[in-house]
């Protein structure tokens, strides 16, 4: 990919200001102490951090136990994650500190203190309890990023219920699949919410999902977020205000094992079926908290705005659990990034004195295109640290972010991690590292990564890429895939005999030990920082009655990082009347099946696809075509060579 090649040539380095270095949570000498400890006694390293950072009900004795790839952390200890995020703060002078500053699309600002959040969580927990939910039952959250969705997450954690947040942009079909996969008993939603000035009727989507058949669901709880009228099924639907009505009620946090599951989060893999990544309680919380402290350098007076939706792992770890466990103030905004104008983000930073800002390269590129005048209209001097996540950042966007947003005064942390890793794994320590734009730098203390070849040997040549693996277990690692042990082993461990965790990313390690992420090695694409399985999109397309076959590949895109090209073969008896019209229909179809984020940018129709003699589609060749590259590699196994010319002509 063009971006990656130019990234690798980048040599400019940027170091933090003296002022930043002096105040950093982690200084050079702290890093040296941490590394010495980890290198001599890794268990003691984690033990001390878990003891000092988390509040336990019963202290643990064991640190990392189990046989690869089934690890357990602090297993004989007990705690409650919600108590770590709330109760321990309301007992201190943090009780009147703002926990959540909510900015709505209409710019209504609601400040919620730790005490108020504590009350909301207790009152909603009491409502959930009345429904008879038990420890480790599953609750689906289909809501935008508002104080109430965070309230539901923390209430589930309080009662030991496993939550699964489904991004509120997913279709009813995707929602139904997730509900059924984890046999959820309750779904919590809103009547509707605003995005780009338009109403998104979330409850209608939930109704459709439930109508398709979700036998495990007993109730749908609806938070009244607007004045829109909705359908209400009396035997099933419950208004939030009817069950969470007791002010001042206290619900004792459940004593949970460190290894009890905190949540399931569905993500795409290389098959058509999304996988429910499962995370534990204590280990997950520990890495979230530490990285908020080490990488985001969070302090008591910071206002931290991570723009991620709670439907993604970034929202879980850097909007909810990490910052709240630290007792920080988080800003949340549930509107569109460019509504009502392209300077909305910069206006929010200015008006609310945001000091730490974390977003995705795709957002930076979109806003960069709108011109430098937009950020220059606003005072951004409250900012002291910037972050990026989700995809490689090209040096051009990095430099723009550094100059126009950070005013050359803020370190930028390019954080590499995944839904599966739970928290940042490779990222700069902002008060210590000199960074080169385009590299996420080095693994954090306690994390050991390597770039290996297909045999599992370290790639020696620094200019060569290989598979990025994590060599040692870490506390916030996924504990598996909900209901699918074999897929967990096969996807993440088997290739190297359970020796390493396989990230699915390819990377290069330079002479200084910096990691440069190159892309995915599997059939996963990254569109605007969202992870999508090409097989998922293919199966959505072929489920259309006029489609016989489809192959989906990605190509580099200026704004989105990667975009989707779908090659489609129609059924014999279907005659196209208008290609453009049917392509639009197919895009809508994908939206209905998965959600808007999966809509292909390009669709091309042909009479066949390049296949091997055994009938396997050669996606590699389609990738070459979609990317405008010369066909590379061996084509001798191709059964129908002519098809390549046909495809190239169409394109
Ligand atoms: O390919 C890597 C890319 O995003 C993938 C993980 O996606 P997801 O589980 O949805 O989590 C996204 C937010 C953590 C990775 O396998 N990725 C994530 N961060 C970076 C990245 N690629 C390059 N640089 C990053 N900083």
Q: For the chain, which domains are there? A: 528-650 (3.30.300.30)
User: So what's the pLDDT on residue 1?
Assistant: 42
Whole-angstrom CA distances from 158 to 136, 185, 351 are 11, 17, 34
Q: How far is the CA of 643 from the centre of ligand 1 (A)?
A: 35
Residue nearest to atom 8 of ligand 1 (CA): 418
| Cα-to-centroid distance, 418 and ligand 1 (Å) | 5
641 versus 452: the higher-pLDDT residue is: 452
- The residue with greater pLDDT, 130 or 632, is 130
Q: How confident is the model at residue 71 (pLDDT cuts 50, 70, 90)?
A: very high
Q: What's the CA gap between 586 and 580, in Å, rounded?
A: 10
- Which residues face 237 on adjacent strands? 220
pLDDT digits (tens, 9 = 90+) for 525-563: 999 989 899 988 998 999 999 998 999 999 999 999 999
The Cα–Cα gap between 497 and 309 comes to 36
Chain center to CA of 118: 26
**Interval between CA 531 and ligand 1 midpoint (Å):** 8
Q: Which ligand 1 atom lies nearest to the CA of residue 308? A: 13
Selection from 422, 416, 415, 417 nearest residue 480 by Cα: 422
**C-beta atoms surrounding 168 within 10 Å:** 25
User: Ligand 1 atom closest to Cα of 524?
Assistant: 1
Q: 524 CB less than 6 Å from ligand 1?
A: no
Cβ pair 27, 445 in contact under 8 A: no
The reply to whether ligand 1 has any atom less than 6 angstroms from the CB of 297 is no
Ligand 1 atom nearest 520 alpha carbon: 1
pLDDT digits (tens, 9 = 90+) for 558-583: 999 999 999 999 987 677 778 889 99
Buried b (16+ CB within 10 A) or exposed e, 184-206: bbbbbbbbbbbbeeeebbbbbbb
Question: What would the pLDDT profile of 77-125 be if each residue is shown by its tens digit?
Answer: 999 999 999 999 999 999 999 999 999 999 999 999 999 999 999 999 9
Angstrom distance (rounded) from CA 56 to CA 492: 31
Q: What is the 474 CA–ligand 1 centroid distance (Å)?
A: 18
Answer whether residue 491 shows pLDDT above 90.
yes
Give me ligand 1 centre to Cα 478, in Å: 15
* Whole-number pLDDT of residue 651: 67
Distances in whole angstroms, Cα of residue 245 to Cα of each of 48, 123, 254, 549, 632: 41, 7, 21, 53, 65
382 Cα–ligand 1 center, Å: 28
pLDDT at 178: 97
DSSP strand E in 365-463: where? 385-389, 412-415, 449-452
β 530-533/186-190 pair status: unpaired
For ligand 1, whether the C-beta of 505 sits within 6 Å is yes
| Distance from the alpha carbon of residue 279 to the mean position of ligand 1, in angstroms | 17
Q: Is the pLDDT of residue 3 over 70?
A: no
398 lines ligand 1 (CB under 6 A): no
Nearest Cα neighbor of 146 from 311, 363, 370 is 311
**Mean pLDDT of all residues in 237-248:** 91
pLDDT of 478 over the 80 cut: yes
Alpha carbon separation from 599 to 102, 392, 404, 471, 541 (Å, rounded): 30, 22, 32, 36, 10
Per-residue pLDDT for 449 more than 70?
yes
Distance 362 CA to ligand 1 centre (A): 12
Alpha-carbon distance of 351 to 475, in angstroms, equals: 37
- Does residue 201 sit in helix, strand or coil? coil
How far apart are the two ends of the chain, measured CA to CA in Å?
19
Q: Is any ligand 1 atom within 6 A of the Cβ of residue 191?
A: no
Q: How many Å apart are CA 585 and CA 475, to the nearest integer?
A: 45
CA–centroid distance, residue 392 to ligand 1 (Å): 8
Decide whether any atom of ligand 1 lies within 6 Å of the 417 Cβ. Answer: yes
Mean pLDDT computed over 128-136: 95
What is each CA distance from 172 to 26, 206, 252, in whole angstroms?
45, 6, 35
Tell me how long the chain is.
Answer: 651
pLDDT digits (tens, 9 = 90+) for 273-296: 889 999 999 999 999 999 999 999
Contact 313 CB / ligand 1 (< 6 Å): yes
Helices of type H across 244-394:
282-294, 313-315, 322-326, 344-352, 361-369, 373-376
Task: Report residue 241's pLDDT band, with 50, 70 and 90 as the boundaries.
Answer: very high
Mutation test residue for ligand 1: of 267, 418, 436, 440, the one with most atoms within 8 Å of CB:
418
Closest CA to 266 of 280, 276, 279, 256: 276
Count CB neighbours of 247 within 10 A.
9
Q: Which atom of ligand 1 is nearest to the CA of 504?
A: 16
467 Cβ closer than 6 Å to some ligand 1 atom: no
Average pLDDT of every residue of the chain: 94
Residue 469: its H or E element: strand 465-470
- The residue nearest atom 4 of ligand 1, judged by CA position, is 390
**From atom 11 of ligand 1, which residue's Cα is the shortest distance away?**
418
* Residue pair 241/260 in contact by the 8 Å Cβ criterion: no
Which residue reads 């008060």 in tokens? Answer: 431
Q: What's the Cα-to-Cα distance from 5 to each of 2, 291, 450, 463, rounded to whole Å? A: 5, 29, 21, 11
281 Cβ inside 6 Å of ligand 1? no
- CA dist., res. 12 & res. 448, Å (int): 26
The pLDDT of residue 247: 80
How many C-beta atoms surround the C-beta of residue 650 within 10 A?
A: 12
- Number of helices (H), then strands (E), in the chain: 23, 30
Rounded distance, CA 30 to CA 290, Å? 13
- Residue 562 in contact with ligand 1 by CB distance below 6 A: no
Tokens encoding 599: 């809509």
Closest CA relative to residue 390, chosen from 370, 367, 366, 419: 419
> What is the pLDDT at residue 7?
60
> If you take atom 21 of ligand 1, which residue's CA is the nearest one?
391
Task: Check residues 544 and 639 and name the one with the higher pLDDT.
Answer: 544
pLDDT score recorded for residue 5: 55
The answer, yes or no, to whether any atom of ligand 1 lies below 6 A from the CB of 73, is no
Query: Looking at residues 497-501, what average pLDDT do you find?
Result: 98
Please give the pLDDT value at position 578: 81
d(CA 180, CA 256): 25
pLDDT value at residue 644: 85
Q: How much distance in Å is there from the Cα of 523 to the middle of ligand 1?
A: 14
Kindly report, residue by residue over 202-238, the tens digit of the pLDDT.
999 999 999 999 999 999 999 999 999 999 999 999 9
Plot region of 219 (φ>0 → left; ψ -120 to 50 → alpha; else → beta): beta
Burial class (CB in 10 A: 0-12, 13-18, 19+), 212: middle
Residue nearest to atom 13 of ligand 1 (CA): 390
Provide the Cα torsion 49, 53, 55, 57; round to 10°.
-10
Q: Which helix (H) or strand (E) holds 46?
A: helix 42-53
Say how many Å lie between the CA of residue 166 and the centre of ligand 1: 18
Chain position carrying tokens 């102490």: 33
Other Cβ atoms within 10 Å of 622 Cβ, number: 22
| Whole-number pLDDT of residue 79 | 98
Task: Give the residue, out of 10, 390, 468, with the most ligand 1 atoms within 8 A of its beta carbon, to mutate for a pocket test.
Answer: 390
Q: How far is the CA of 609 from the centre of ligand 1 (A)?
A: 30
Q: Is the dihedral of CA 625, 626, 630, 634 positive or negative?
A: negative
Residue nearest to atom 14 of ligand 1 (CA): 418
Q: Is the CB of 87 under 6 A from ligand 1?
A: no
Q: Sign of the C-alpha dihedral, residues 359, 410, 302, 288?
A: positive
Beta bridge partners of 388: 359, 414
Q: Decide whether any atom of ligand 1 lies within 6 Å of the 506 Cβ.
A: no
* 8 band by pLDDT with thresholds 50, 70 and 90: low
Rg (CA), the chain: 24
- The string of pLDDT tens digits covering residues 453-476 is 999 999 988 878 899 999 999 999
């Amino acid at each position: 990919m063009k971006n990656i090649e130019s990234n690798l040539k980048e040599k400019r380095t940027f170091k933090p200001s003296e002022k930043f270095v002096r105040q950093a949570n982690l200084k050079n000498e702290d890093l040296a102490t941490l590394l010495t400890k980890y290198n001599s006694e890794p268990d003691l390293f984690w033990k001390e951090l878990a003891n000092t950072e988390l509040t336990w009900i019963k202290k643990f004795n064991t640190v990392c136990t189990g046989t690869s790839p089934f690890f357990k952390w602090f297993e004989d200890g007990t705690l409650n994650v919600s108590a770590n995020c709330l109760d321990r703060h309301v007992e201190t002078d943090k009780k009147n500190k703002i926990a959540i500053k909510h900015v709505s699309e209409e710019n209504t600002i609601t400040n919620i203190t730790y005490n108020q959040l504590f009350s909301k969580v207790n009152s909603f927990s009491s409502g959930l309890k009345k429904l008879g939910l038990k420890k480790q039952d599953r609750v689906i959250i289909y809501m935008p990023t508002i104080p109430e969705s965070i309230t539901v997450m923390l209430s589930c954690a309080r009662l030991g219920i496993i939550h699964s947040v489904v991004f509120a942009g997913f279709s009813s079909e995707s929602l139904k699949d997730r509900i059924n996969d984890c046999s959820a008993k309750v779904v919590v939603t809103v009547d509707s919410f605003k995005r780009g000035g338009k109403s998104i009727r979330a409850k209608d989507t939930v109704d459709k999902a439930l109508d398709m058949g979700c036998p495990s669901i007993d109730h749908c709880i609806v938070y009244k977020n607007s004045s829109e009228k909705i359908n209400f099924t009396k035997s099933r639907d419950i208004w939030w205000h009817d069950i969470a009505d007791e002010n001042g009620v206290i619900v004792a946090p459940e004593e949970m094992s460190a290894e009890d599951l905190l949540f399931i989060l569905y993500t795409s893999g290389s098959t058509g079926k999304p996988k429910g990544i499962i995370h534990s309680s204590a280990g997950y919380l520990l890495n979230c908290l530490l990285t908020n402290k080490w990488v985001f350098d969070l302090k008591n007076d910071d206002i931290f705005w991570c723009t991620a939706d709670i439907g993604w792992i970034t929202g879980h770890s850097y909007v909810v659990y990490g910052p709240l466990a630290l007792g920080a103030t988080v800003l949340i905004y549930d509107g569109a990034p460019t509504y009502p104008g392209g300077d909305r983000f910069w206006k929010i930073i200015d008006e609310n004195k945001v000091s730490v800002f974390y977003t995705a390269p795709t957002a930076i590129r979109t806003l960069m295109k709108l011109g430098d005048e937009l950020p220059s209209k606003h005072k951004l001097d409250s900012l002291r640290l910037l972050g990026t996540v989700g995809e490689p950042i090209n040096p051009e966007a990095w430099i723009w972010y550094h100059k126009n947003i950070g005013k050359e005064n803020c370190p930028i942390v390019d954080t590499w991690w995944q839904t599966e890793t739970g928290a940042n794994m490779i990222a700069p320590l902002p008060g210590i590292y000199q960074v080169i734009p385009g590299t996420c730098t080095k693994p954090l203390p306690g994390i050991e990564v390597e770039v290996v070849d297909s045999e599992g040997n370290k790639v020696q040549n620094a200019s060569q890429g290989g598979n990025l693996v994590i060599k040692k277990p870490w506390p916030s690692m996924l504990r598996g895939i909900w209901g699918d042990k074999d897929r967990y082993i096969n996807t993440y461990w088997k290739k190297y005999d359970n020796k390493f965790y396989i990230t699915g990313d390819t990377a290069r390690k330079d002479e200084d030990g910096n990691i440069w992420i190159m892309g995915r090695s599997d059939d996963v694409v990254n569109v605007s920082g969202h992870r999508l399985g090409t097989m998922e999109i293919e199966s959505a397309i072929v489920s259309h009655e006029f489609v016989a076959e489809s192959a989906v590949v990605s190509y580099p895109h200026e704004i989105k990082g990667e975009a989707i090209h779908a090659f489609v073969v129609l059924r014999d008896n279907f005659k196209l009347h208008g290609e453009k019209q049917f392509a639009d229909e197919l895009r809508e179809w994908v939206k209905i099946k998965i959600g808007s984020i999966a809509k292909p940018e390009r669709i091309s129709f042909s009479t066949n696809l390049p296949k091997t003699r055994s009938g396997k589609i050669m996606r590699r060749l389609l990738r070459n075509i979609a990317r405008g590259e010369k066909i590379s590699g061996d084509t001798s196994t191709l059964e129908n060579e002519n098809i390549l010319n046909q495809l190239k002509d169409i394109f």
